[in-house]
Amino acid sequence: ITEFIFNCLPWRYCMNSNLQSFVNNCAEIAKPDKIEWITGNGDQLESLAKIAMSTGEMIKLNEELLPNCYLHRSALNDVARVEGRTYICCRKEEDAGPTNNWMDPEKAYSMLTGIFDGAMKGRTMYVIPYSMGPIGSPFSKIGIEITDSIYVVLSMNIMTRIGDEVVRQLGDSNDFVRGFHSKAELNEENRYICHFPEDNAIWSVNSGYGGNVLLGKKCFALRIASYQARNEGWMAEHMLILGITKPDGITRYIAAAFPSACGKTNLAMLIPPEGYLAKGYKITTVGDDIAWIRPKDGYLYALNPENGFFGVAPGTNAKSNPNALASTRKNSIFTNVVLNKDNNTVWWEGMDKNPPVNAENWKGEKWDYRDGSKGAHPNSRFTAPAVNCPCISPEFENPEGVRLSAIIFGGRRARTAPLVYQSFDWENGVFVGSAMASETTAAATGAVGVLRRDPMAMLPFCGYNMGDYFAHWLEIGRKNKNVPKIFNVNWFRTDNEGKFIWPGFGDNIRVLDWIIDRCEGKADAIETPIGYLPRPEDINIEGLDISQEALREILTVDKEMWRKEAADIREHYKKFGDKLPQELATQLENLENRHPHVL
């Protein structure tokens, strides 16, 4: 069948024999009725949207209020990343490491070939050429995703740069990531997200959830790319990138790693409070989820490989993140949110205080908010083009990336971690990142609110042995003289009633301000066993409703809690065995030893 199909293809696609044989092989296994190449052309995308509307896969929303926007509902059993079914398939189990599921590549290919066999019968197979990063940038990399889902095609069009131009850029090169996706029957039992870093390949089957199927995102830009980055001397990280412009008019750049659904999008799009705006502070967004970071002249430069935002909808509102909300007002796709039947728009918990009365919940059932049930799924999402974002950085398309002043780690910790601290140096910063912990969220299946160690927020995304990953971080610091300073933040400390102490959102600029001043040697700090902390008076709380006492509380290092923390890190480190770099073992000892003296 494939010979016939190829005869119908535009000639330029036939130029690259590697590409041809990849598509051929996938078609032979999945046996689609038809193959369609995605050119990126507007007419093609529009007609695909029409097909998706006719099958119910997408619901067109109000053209006046939400032009060119759609609602998509996933299968009920398919609403988040499935870490338990996500595999790194490399030849040696040790190379996947203790934090990844591992499968032997031969075994994985043979099992998956069985599941993919005939999975696209009666369907069209779409071939999406895409670039992670601006097309042609030396930072960028090309992928080809094969899929039988129009939702995937339209979402990839938002999240990446797709189409003919990418194929032209690829030329006859064999350097592309081979992504093979089929929703198959959306059967949970046969759902697999498998990565073959040694082959530049990803096979994803029986899911339609963004994080599992938009293969450019987590699968390529983090899992495969982290492996490539280690071999090639750069870094692929789960980080937002923002620019902070100070009253002096100079913009500094910060990258920050927080686990999924801990506010990366909110921090990346922060709007400073009035007083700060008046002084001339401004935040611009380079990225909200992924940073590809390369050393140059001893500095680190970061680029966002994505072209859109795949953000968590609940809690996004005109106050918490007006920029994200504005980004979703056209050319966007919403997944698993509430449908307002009166005006054909969408709603989610935390959007405003007026849930629609005539509405359908994320499952498509008639929904009455008064019965107390949630209308949107807690992991419901928007997929919005970056160009829509009012505060998108002028450097967003810069093919060289932006030079980083600081790297921030953070997570949700009701206790223990203070509002902010600075690591003693790069090596100590790597220690801080390696020990990062956060209470789990709805972004992945499993229990919510459980504390887990999530090093550099990469636990679910590191494509190789995490011990080697720590070593790679250390090496980057050794080889580059002007690496960013490393900090840790925690916006989520609660009081005895469980209420957040720090206001967060726009007021987080008060902390970023201290961070930048520290980078430039302009702010004071006190030395504690865990790093440098601001004194309460070093954080500007003008116009804030927080007492000095409360601020003092979130800026203290509790001796007992940190003793427990150190013991828990020791436990966490055990799983890396002799892959744990000696430097980090020493860092832990240093932390343990500093306690009796300083506290």
- Residue 22 interacts with ligand OXD (CB under 6 A)? no
Sheet arrangement for strand 359-360: 345-347, 338-340, 359-360, 366-367
Q: What is the nearest approach in angstroms of Mn ion to the Cβ of residue 264?
A: 7
Query: Which residue sits closest to ligand OXD, CB atoms considered?
Result: 260
User: By rule CB under 6 A, what string of x and - marks binding of each residue 209-238 to ligand OXD?
Assistant: --x---------------------------
Catalytic annotation, pick one of 262, 389, 391, 462: 262
Cα angle vertex 110, ends 109, 114, to 5°?
A: 110
Q: Which stretch binds Mn ion (CB under 5 A): 60-68, 80-88, 283-291, 429-437?
A: 283-291
User: By rule CB under 6 A, what string of x and - marks binding of each residue 128-167 to ligand OXD?
Assistant: ----------------------------------------
24 CB burial (10 A radius; 0-12, 13-18, 19+): middle
Q: Which stretch binds Mn ion (CB under 5 A): 282-290, 313-321, 325-333, 514-522?
A: 282-290
Contact 107, 101 (CB under 8 A): no
Beta-sheet pairing, 282-287 with 291-296: unpaired
Q: What is the nearest approach in angstroms of ligand OXD to the Cβ of residue 108?
A: 23
Q: Which is nearer to Mn ion, 153 or 256 (CB)?
A: 256
- Residue 409 interacts with ligand OXD (CB under 6 A)? no
Burial 477-498 (b: 16+ CB within 10 A, else e): beebeebbbbbbbbbbbeeeee
Give the type of residue at 377.
Answer: H
Contact 330, 66 (CB under 8 A): yes
User: Tokens 């080889």 — which residue?
Assistant: 479
Q: What is the nearest approach in angstroms of ligand OXD to the Cβ of residue 312?
A: 7
Query: Which residue sits closest to Mn ion, CB atoms considered?
Result: 289
Integer Cα distance of 47 and 144 in angstroms: 21
Q: Which of Mn ion, ligand OXD, none does residue 81 bind (CB under 5 to 8 Å by kind)?
A: ligand OXD
Q: What are phi and psi of 347, to 5 degrees?
A: -150, 155
Among 31, 73, 81, 510, binds ligand OXD (CB under 6 A): 81
Q: Which of Mn ion, ligand OXD, none does residue 288 bind (CB under 5 to 8 Å by kind)?
A: none
Among 108, 268, 443, 588, binds ligand OXD (CB under 6 A): 443
Q: Which is nearer to Mn ion, 123 or 218 (CB)?
A: 218
How far is CA 62 from each of CA 272, 349, 364, rounded to the nearest angstrom? 32, 20, 17
How far is CA 5 from each of CA 34, 43, 111, 199, 294, rounded to the nearest angstrom? 7, 21, 27, 26, 41
Among 220, 227, 276, 310, binds ligand OXD (CB under 6 A): 310
262 among known catalytic residues = yes
Give the type of residue at 165.
Answer: E
- Residue 289 interacts with Mn ion (CB under 5 A)? yes
User: By rule CB under 5 A, what string of x and - marks binding of each residue 237-276 to Mn ion?
Assistant: -----------------------x----------------
Integer Cα distance of 566 and 324 in angstroms: 37
Q: What is the dihedral of CA 235, 239, 242, 244, to 10 degrees?
A: -90
Binding site for Mn ion (CB under 5 A): 260, 289
Binding site for ligand OXD (CB under 6 A): 81, 211, 260, 289, 310, 443
Which residues are known catalytic residues?
Answer: 262
